[in-house]
Amino acid sequence: MPPMTFLAIDIGNTRLKWAMYDSPRPGAALLAHGAEFLEHIERLAEGPWSKLPPPTRMLGCVVAGETARRRVHDQMELMLGWEVEPRWVVPALQEAGVTNGYDHPSRLGADRWVAMIGARHHILQRGNERPLIVVMVGTAVTVDALDAQGHFLGGLILPGHGIMLRALESGTAGLHVPTGSVTPFPRNTSDALTSGGTYAIAGAVERTYQHLYLHCSMEPACIMAGGAGWKMVPSMTRPFELVDNLIFEGLLVMAQQRWG
């Protein structure tokens, strides 16, 4: 049987991340991966994808809008020998052991849905059925809560580091300063802005931790991901695990259910 290669794609509001695996299932071997800022999507076919084997299956999640999705389809069409049909995640009422408590389940960000499925799979593999907080630090920050049975209870959306800074710069006269350091008692504008943003995110996670602990009477686990997740590492108030490829783990779980 020929190998069943799998292409996973995550289109966020800042960057497209992609990864090619040797099969559509968790634990598959990673063959190649990359990331492009959205303005460079048109480089994919001629550049990083040109040396890839044709994918047998493709599954992606997109929150950057219809135009970005179409630009990726165009790149896939340019690839000689690629006949794969692009498939994109739409958050459902239930998938892979996670139930979706959103008022309108399909309006939940597809990346949040995929990340929660990846995170739930990740902690179940460690034999831990416990409440779970999934934090994604990208363009925006999301802090999502699941109970021990895998019910998504709800979650927060807040601005990411970049948006917070740009909002303050554009809404004030005197806040155009270089990036500072995170410190408990900032004594200059740069440190005050950088610390304010970082602790705003850490505080939102801490609050969700308290809410979920109270709701479930059981200590939650916390999984963190996203391009700026590493910036949060020294400032978190509870134990957490940084999982770099969380979205891809989620897409692999979903791919296995579809094609495995």
Ligand X SMILES: Nc1ncnc2c1ncn2[C@@H]1O[C@H](COP(=O)(O)OP(=O)(O)O)[C@@H](O)[C@H]1O
Residues of this chain that bind ligand PAZ (CB under 6 A) = 12-13, 63, 107-109, 111-112, 138-140, 142, 157
Q: Which does 227 bind (CB under 5 to 8 A by kind): ligand X, K ion, ligand PAZ, none?
A: ligand X
Establish whether 111 is a catalytic residue: yes
Q: Which is nearer to ligand PAZ, 106 or 210 (CB)?
A: 106
Single out the catalytic residue among 103, 111, 191, 244.
111
Separation CA 7–CA 20 (nearest Å): 5
Q: Is 231 annotated as a binding residue?
A: no
What phi and psi, each to the nearest 5 degrees, are found at residue 35? -145, 140
Q: Which does 108 bind (CB under 5 to 8 A by kind): ligand PAZ, ligand X, K ion, none?
A: ligand PAZ
Query: What is the footprint of K ion within residues 208-247 (CB under 5 A)?
Result: none
- Stretch touching ligand X by CB under 6 A, among 10-18, 77-85, 117-125, 193-201: 10-18
Q: Which is nearer to ligand X, 17 or 121 (CB)?
A: 17
Q: Output the smallest distance, CB 185 to ligand PAZ, in A.
A: 30
* DSSP symbol at 14: S
Q: Output the smallest distance, CB 117 to ligand X, in A.
A: 17
Q: Which does 162 bind (CB under 5 to 8 A by kind): ligand X, ligand PAZ, K ion, none?
A: ligand X
Strand 15-21 relative to strand 30-37: parallel, antiparallel, unpaired? antiparallel
Q: Rule CB under 6 A: say whether 160 interacts with ligand X.
A: yes
Q: Output the smallest distance, CB 151 to ligand X, in A.
A: 25
- Structural contact between residues 21 and 253, judged by C-beta atoms closer than 8 angstroms: no
* DSSP symbol at 31: E
| CA proximity to 6, closest of 82, 90, 99, 96 | 82
In this structure, which amino acid lies at residue 202?
Answer: A
In this structure, which amino acid lies at residue 9?
Answer: I
Separation CA 90–CA 92 (nearest Å): 6
- Residue 135's DSSP bridge partners are 143, 224
* DSSP symbol at 100: E
Q: How many CB atoms lie within 10 A of CB 63?
A: 16
Tell me the binding residues for ATP: 10-17, 139
Where in the sequence numbering do the catalytic residues fall?
Answer: 111
- Residues of the shown chain interacting with ligand X in the complex, contacts defined by CB under 6 A: 12-15, 138-139, 160-162, 226-228
